[in-house]
A = this chain, B = another copy of it.
Amino acid sequence: MIIGTLGPQGTYSEKAAIQYNKNAGLQFYEDIFDTVDALLRNEVDKSIVPIENSLEGSITLTLDLLWEHELKIIGEVIVQIKHCLLSKGKKEDIKIIMSHPQALSQCRKYIKNNFKGVEIRSDLSTSHAAKIASGSKEIAAIASAESAKMYGLNILAENIQDVPGNFTRFIVVGKTTQSPTGNDKTSIIVYLEKNKPGALYEILGEFAGNNIDLTKIESRPTKKALGDYVFYIDIKGHIEDEIIKDTISRIKGKVGMLKILGSYPVAN
């Protein structure tokens, strides 16, 4: 089994893929878009992509790809993120700090307080930044401790994200559906009828009335007009559970569009 993963070696995505299935082969891609595209082109069996971080919130590109393509969420994995400042040289040599934009945002205050005036450059992934940093003492990367080993860099500072507890949730996307395990989650996207006040309230009422637990609700623009949104909703339960199936089919009749992204086991 081959899992498409954001590369090169040393990313938090790689960590997530190993946590999901330590026996799978990994195929690395340059960005989230290519990682998902590899699955759509049947180059890999599954792909793993970040969807949400506890400090920075949703990875919006992932949300948009779920809306645009026929993808099934078949699993989720939670990984603890501990960013380090890595470089060939010393702190005083650093002229450029590179990393993935999410990592840069998660360390915004650390950078502002310690490297005022240093050039900040966003890169395709944390480990790609580490790879680049191995070529010059003037470049530091924000990446995992594992990346330091992999690319021969010094760890100049550890755990530099603005809040100590930092977790990213990854989703595994595939093309098959998952059978119920007894502890599942179902993800859907709902587009309400425009300009219908109370429409969201009505939808949430269907869940509340059936004691279905809502674990997440998030709005994203439809890209058609400012103020026009779709809602990404996660609920506890499996689409094959009678109560979930009935509730979702009732909601379907009340909304402009409803897309089921999949049911999958809840991560610990």
Query: Which A residues contact B (CB, under 8 angstroms)?
Result: 33, 52-57, 60-61, 78, 101, 105, 108, 112, 121-122, 162-163, 165, 167, 169, 197-198, 200-202, 204-205, 207-208, 211, 213-221, 223-229
Contact = CB atoms under 8 A, between A and B. Distances in A.
B60 A221 contact: no
A121 B123 CA distance: 8
Closest 10 CB pairs of A and B: A198-B208, A201-B204, A122-B122, A201-B208, A54-B226, A167-B226, A197-B213, A163-B223, A57-B221, A55-B223
A211 B226 CA distance: 22
15 contacts: A54-B224, A54-B228, A56-B221, A57-B60, A61-B108, A78-B226, A122-B122, A169-B226, A197-B214, A200-B217, A201-B204, A201-B205, A205-B205, A215-B227, A217-B219
Nearest to A222: B54
Given A55-B223, A205-B205, 7 more contacts: A54-B224, A57-B219, A202-B208, A216-B219, A218-B218, A218-B219, A219-B219
B33 A112 contact: yes
